[in-house]
């Protein structure tokens, strides 16, 4: 995949040059409270790996966030999972919804994936609202799923999406199938 075009964002493969922008976003409290300081330690090193699946979310050529995916290739229960963040300066402008809808649309097209999951903190209302807007459905609470920077166990919420659930998001186009 080279680029995926949404309504207002373009997703492209992230490179080590994106590390400063990603670090700047991760350093903001609005992002760090959900990604945690231990959430992504070796940004430069990970972006240099040839097999990474991280995309820069760009708006008019500027990297404003990151969206990543990973796939469980099981022959019996395959699924892909997605995670993302945007710099707070770009929150609440529809970019998160557009980026997620665009990536998930690509993942589900051409038989690439059958099911996509996402697992925000159970109290991350902004993320959950964004994901439900794209068509994700709540599966259930993941008890004591992740540890915050204070060392406290926190619950997660598992959501999943099948191709038919994305129906509301068809306006996003794909630059590369
Ligand atoms: C989660 C995140 C990616 C959402 O992206 P976004 O571009 O701000 O979201 P959108 O503008 O597309 O908004 C989607 C919906 O969520 C709502 N929403 C967004 N931020 C919200 C907030 N802080 N509180 C309540 N609702 C919020 C929007 O109003 C919109 O719903 P609506 O159309 O019914 O009004 C972004 O907030 C973010 O990067 N957060 C920090 C990192 C994070 O939590 N990542 C997810 C980890 S799983």
**Which sequence spans correspond to the domains of the chain?**
3-169
C-alpha to C-alpha distances, 25 to 58, 116, 162, nearest whole angstrom: 13, 25, 30
- Ligand 1 atom nearest the C-alpha of 127 is 1
pLDDT value for 167? 61
Q: Measured between alpha carbons, how far is 124 from 31 in angstroms, rounded to an integer? A: 11
Q: Is 85 in the pocket of ligand 1 (CB under 6 A)?
A: yes
Q: Is 57 in the pocket of ligand 1 (CB under 6 A)?
A: no
pLDDT in tens, 86-127: 999 999 999 999 999 999 999 999 889 999 999 999 999 999
The pair of three-digit structure tokens given for residue 97, joined into one six-digit string: 């919804």
Residue 46's pLDDT band (cuts 50, 70, 90): very high
pLDDT value for 72? 94
Q: Is 7 in the pocket of ligand 1 (CB under 6 A)?
A: no
Atom 10 of ligand 1, residue of closest alpha carbon: 94
CATH superfamily for 3-169 is: Gcn5-related N-acetyltransferase (GNAT) (3.40.630.30)
Q: Is 84 in the pocket of ligand 1 (CB under 6 A)?
A: yes
Find the 97 Cα to ligand 1 centroid distance in Å.
8
Atom 48 of ligand 1, residue of closest alpha carbon: 120
The answer, yes or no, to whether residue 18 has pLDDT greater than 60, is: yes
Atom 41 of ligand 1, residue of closest alpha carbon: 31
Q: Measured between alpha carbons, how far is 4 from 1 in angstroms, rounded to an integer? A: 8
Find the 75 Cα to ligand 1 centroid distance in Å.
34
Find the 160 Cα to ligand 1 centroid distance in Å.
17
Q: How far is CA 172 from the centre of its chain?
A: 16
Atom 21 of ligand 1, residue of closest alpha carbon: 126
What DSSP line would sit under the chain, residue for residue?
Answer: --EEE-SS-EEEE--GGGHHHHHHHHTSHHHHHHH-TTSSS-HHHHHH-TT--EEEEEETTEEEEEEEEEEE--SSS-EEEEEEEE-GGGTTSSHHHHHHHHHHHHHHGGGS-SEEEE--BTT-HHHHHHHHHHT-EEEEEEEEEEE-TTS-EEEEEEEEEEGGGGGGGTT---S--
pLDDT value for 111? 86
């Amino acid at each position: 995949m080279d680029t995926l075009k949404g309504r207002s964002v373009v997703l492209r493969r992230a490179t080590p040059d994106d590390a400063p922008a990603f670090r700047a976003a991760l350093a903001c409290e609005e992002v760090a409270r959900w990604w945690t300081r231990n959430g992504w330690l070796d940004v430069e090193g990970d972006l240099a790996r040839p097999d990474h699946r991280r995309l820069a979310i760009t708006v008019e050529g500027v990297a404003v966030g990151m969206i990543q995916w990973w796939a469980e290739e099981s022959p019996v229960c395959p699924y892909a999972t997605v995670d993302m963040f945007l710099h707070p300066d770009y929150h609440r402008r529809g970019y998160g919804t557009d980026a997620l809808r665009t990536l998930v649309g690509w993942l589900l097209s051409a038989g690439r994936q059958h099911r996509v999951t996402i697992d925000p903190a159970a109290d991350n209302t902004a993320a959950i609202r964004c994901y439900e807007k794209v068509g994700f459905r709540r599966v259930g609470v993941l008890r004591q799923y992740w540890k915050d920077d204070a060392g406290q166990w926190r619950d997660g919420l598992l959501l999943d999406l099948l191709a038919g659930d994305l129906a509301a998001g068809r306006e996003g186009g794909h630059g590369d199938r």
